[in-house]
Amino acid sequence: MAIWLPEEFVERVRSESDIVSVVSTYVQLKRRGNRYWGCCPFHQEDTPSFSVKPDDGFFYCFGCHAGGNIFKFISLIENVSYYDAIVLQAERLNIPLPEREKSPQELAREKKVSELREVHEMAVNFFHNCLVMTNYGVAGLEYFHRRGIDDETIKEFKLGFAPDAWDKLSSAFAKRNISNSLLLESGLAVKRQQGNGEYDRFRNRVMIPIMDERGRVCGFGGRIIGEGQPKYLNSPETVLFNKRRLLFGLDKAHRYISQAGFSVVVEGYMDVISVVAAGIRNVVASLGTAFTVEQCKKLLRYAPAIYFCYDSDNAGQEAIARAVTIAAETNAEVKVVQLPDGKDPDEFIQKHGAEEFKKVIAKAVPVVEFQLKHIISHSDINGLEGRLRTLTEMLPVLGGIKNTAERSAYVSKVAQLLSVSENDILAELTKKGHAVVNMQKTAKDVRKAVRKVENATNRSGRVIIRMIWEEPAVIDHFVSMVPIESLPNELHRQILNELADKYTKGETVKDIINLPQLGEEAMAELSRALVEDLGEEDNSILYEACVRQLRRHYLAGQYEVHSMAADNLYRQGDEKYHDELALSQKIKHEMDELQGVNE
């Protein structure tokens, strides 16, 4: 469904946005003059070719030629539409979306979402008060304290306790006029299989509120106290609670993830709480499901690296193997934290302390090293057949290493370990190279560096666009010398026509950045024109030189038209060929004069 966004709203979001701050969330930028430079997030490169010009609010990559304004950047980096990028940035700035007339279905859904959020907030307070203010919560407090979770952390995470009773919450909420249907829809209550009525879903459990990244309660996780199954119980899927898209702790961790440059992903919410209680705050957890691409993309909004720290038992290592495969579908820098003693992060911290846990994180191994070790741990390499089978499993991992020196080092290690010739491994990689590379393509790395044909005419067109952008009145002089439709570059014609249209109507020329119809390629070319370094030459001299270049190109076209017309009229015996010939010679004379000036 299209989003209604009036121009004044879009302009407000744009004017209150700082493109450098937004881009810096994803790209490490360094200032050079009036521009910022960094490695492009949209294609692989080692030398920075990605530039941001804050004065005009544009970015451009001279490698893959991605470019545009702040909304275009967000749409590319977050893989959302242009309009969704505006909405996302507005939400980040707490700018309310414009009101529009909504359908009855939309109004009903919004009402339901609002009611569900309200009942979830009430439940948070109910469980928390049961934990810290009543005798019901004594066992819960003892459990948290025994696991090293102090009262400050309990308060920060709004931890709670569900009493060991069938309808404690349901009865309390009924007195506050909360309908049974709403309790059922929220997942806080379950309909009895026999007879009428409902009962509380969570009973005799410590309760962990699950928030979205904006700190809004979406659901709950409950751990049983004492014996009972299941050990952990989550809220069911609702319009608020989608486990594939949520990361426990992200609402508290995102600032620390940005500061640290990496996130630590653990298996469960109790691990997150224990790690945070130990003073390590850039940590999140998935919610009882395998790590998903959606979760990975959320983490990459805040830092480029993800460290997986799951249990060190077989199940935990298998979960990491699946998770790093998912992360490989994005542009994440992935590492694996390897815990000794078969422990999970919570147990490790309780036994060894926070400082030792920090040291283990600092020793996180690259994903390739983990994958190779994981394959070895499940292989029998004593016989030739087993070694060859193991090598077959390793080839996709080796083929995915982009750095040549790093790949050579790992090939050497594998060759020594499996008693196989390095040349044989390299031959197999070459044979299967195409398939291996395809397996390693990433979701975000969808662009490639492209070498565009460059010439003086194209550069002159960009200079003219830049001059008109900075001083719109220049367009009157330019079009008197060079008709826009004569420009050889289609994108330049499109951009200048839009600029001229705005100028003629008395509108702000720079408002064309809000025109979706400008198109991705034209937006990128406009960005390049504004970001490109013009050198130290005087702008007026540079402008005149570019006008001469483009006028000469225009005259060359006119000369050909009138020369051909003169020739055709001459063959037909038409005396008008004299006029066409004279005009062509006049054009030729001006071309020669312009050529002389250029030389």
Domain ranges of the chain: 7-92, 105-234, 250-362, 379-439, 456-598
Ranges 49-63, 267-281, 394-408: which has the least confidence? 394-408
- The packing angle between helices 354-362 and 345-352, to 10°, is 120
Q: What is the pLDDT of residues 455-497, one digit of tens each?
A: 888 999 999 998 888 888 888 889 989 999 999 999 999 999 9
Q: How far apart are CA 376 and CA 417, in angstroms?
A: 10
Q: Look up residue 281 and give its amino acid.
A: R
Indicate the burial class of 19 (C-beta count within 10 angstroms; 0-12, 13-18, 19 or more): buried
Report the alpha-carbon distance of residue 313 to residue 258 in Å, rounded.
Answer: 30
Q: Which CATH class is domain 105-234?
A: alpha beta
**pLDDT-derived band of residue 434, with 50, 70 and 90 as boundaries?**
very low
The amino acid that residue 291 corresponds to is F
Amino acid at 244: R
Confidence of residue 108 (pLDDT cuts 50, 70, 90): confident
437: pLDDT strictly greater than 50: no
Please enumerate in sequence order all residues whose Cβ is within 8 A of that of 128, keeping only pairs 6 or more positions apart, or say none: 158, 159, 160
Query: What is the share, in percent, of the chain residues with pLDDT greater than 70?
Result: 92
Helix count (H) and strand count (E) of the chain? Answer: 25, 16
As a whole number, the mean pLDDT across the chain is 85
Q: How confident is the model at residue 444 (pLDDT cuts 50, 70, 90)?
A: very low
72-81, 267-276, 297-306, 515-524: least confidently modelled range: 515-524
Average pLDDT over residues 413-433: 78
**Higher pLDDT, residue 385 or 352:** 352
Q: What is the arithmetic mean of pLDDT over 185-197? A: 89
- State what percent of residues in the chain have pLDDT above 90: 34
Higher pLDDT, 260 or 373: 260
DSSP letter (8 states) at residue 33: T
pLDDT tier, 262 (very low <50, low <70, confident <90, very high otherwise):
very high
pLDDT average, residue stretch 82-96? 89
Burial environment of residue 242 by CB neighbours within 10 A (0 to 12, 13 to 18, 19 or more): middle
Cis peptide before 230 (omega within 30 of 0): yes
Position 586 pLDDT exceeds 70: yes
Look up tokens 């024109």; give the residue.
529
| CB distance 377 to 338 below 8 Å | no
**Residue 174 predicted with pLDDT over 70:** yes
pLDDT band at 285 (very low <50, low <70, confident <90, very high): very high
pLDDT confidence of residue 440: 36
Q: What is the distance between the alpha carbons of residues 88 and 3, in angstroms, rounded to a whole number?
A: 12
Q: Confidence class of residue 511 from pLDDT cuts 50, 70 and 90?
A: low
Determine how many CB atoms are found less than 10 A away from the CB of residue 490: 11
Give the CATH number of domain 456-598: 1.10.860.10
Q: Where are the alpha helices (DSSP H) in 419-538?
A: 422-439, 456-470, 474-481, 490-504, 520-531
- Tell me the residue length of the chain: 599
Residue 368 reports pLDDT greater than 90: no
CATH number of 250-362: 3.40.1360.10
| Mean predicted confidence (pLDDT) in 398-424 | 78
Asked if pLDDT for residue 206 goes beyond 90, the answer is yes
Burial, 488: exposed, middle or buried (Cβ in 10 Å; 0-12, 13-18, 19+)? Answer: middle
Structural contact between residues 199 and 192, judged by C-beta atoms closer than 8 angstroms: yes
Per-residue model confidence (pLDDT) at position 575:
84
pLDDT (tens digit, 9 = 90+) per residue, 120-170?
999 999 999 999 999 999 999 999 999 889 999 999 999 999 999 999 999
Own/partner contacts of 52-57, CB < 8 Å, gap of 24 or more, are 52/19, 52/20, 52/23, 52/531, 53/530, 53/531, 54/18, 54/19, 54/20, 56/469, 56/510, 56/530, 57/14, 57/17, 57/19, 57/513
Asked if pLDDT for residue 410 goes beyond 70, the answer is yes
What pLDDT sits at residue 582? 86
- CA 36/CA 30 separation, integer angstroms: 5
Q: Whole-model pTM above 0.75?
A: no
**What pLDDT is stored for residue 297 in this prediction?**
86
Mean pLDDT on 553-580? 87
pLDDT tens readout for residues 4-56? 577 788 889 989 999 999 999 888 999 988 889 999 988 878 888 899 999 88
Residue 222's DSSP bridge partners are 207, 233
CATH of domain 7-92: 3.90.580.10
Look at residue 432 in the predicted model and tell me its pLDDT: 60
Q: What is the pLDDT of residue 219?
A: 96
Distance, CA of 306 to CA of 280 (rounded, Å):
15
The pLDDT-based confidence of 513 (bands split at 50, 70, 90) is low
